[in-house]
């Protein structure tokens, strides 16, 4: 991870998206760029989060070192210093876009996240 670079973000359906960033960009902007490219409506943007996860990926985050949820106001500079600088751990990490909103039922999910549900279904078949 460099000061002006491209990051790879893994989407749950297996797609990998690249996002250009610099150290002043916030996590929230990265999420917005990704969701816009996926055709997700702006109303649903708040339901998504970015996390760093140990690579290769295990099924679950078993402890705090396996995954790190990134606050939307965090700048890439802070992420770089904490997780990718020479003094940080040598554990390989990757970015993932995740749904953090849990609907009460499938109907509510379909109403609030239609684009995401349709994209996920289409990409999985």
Burial of residue 5 (number of CB atoms within 10 Å: 0-12, 13-18, 19+): middle
Ordered structural domains, the chain, with CATH = 4-124 (3.10.20.90)
Give the position of tokens 């359906």: 13
DSSP 43-71: GGGGGEEEEEEESSPPSS--STTTEEEEP
What is the pLDDT, as a whole number, of residue 5? 87
Handedness of CA 68, 69, 71, 77 (dihedral sign): positive
pLDDT band, residue 27 (cuts 50/70/90): very high
Output the average pLDDT for the chain. Answer: 80
What is the pLDDT, as a whole number, of residue 97? 93
What is the pLDDT, as a whole number, of residue 125? 47
Lowest mean pLDDT across 10-14, 20-24, 117-121:
117-121
What is the pLDDT, as a whole number, of residue 89? 66
Mean pLDDT, rounded, for 86-108: 75
| Choice between 91 and 73, residue whose per-residue pLDDT is larger | 73
């Amino acid at each position: 991870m460099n000061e002006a670079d491209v990051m790879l973000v893994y989407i749950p359906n297996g797609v990998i998206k690249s996002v250009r960033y610099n150290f002043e960009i916030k996590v929230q902007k990265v999420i917005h760029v990704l969701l816009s490219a996926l055709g997700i409506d702006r109303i649903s943007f708040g339901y998504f989060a970015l996390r760093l996860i140990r690579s290769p990926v295990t099924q679950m985050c078993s402890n705090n070192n396996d995954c790190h949820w990134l606050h939307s106001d965090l700048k890439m500079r802070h992420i770089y210093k904490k997780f990718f600088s020479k003094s940080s751990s040598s554990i390989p990490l990757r970015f993932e876009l995740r749904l953090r909103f849990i609907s009460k039922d499938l109907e509510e999910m379909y109403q609030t996240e239609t684009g995401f549900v349709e994209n996920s279904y289409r990409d999985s078949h």
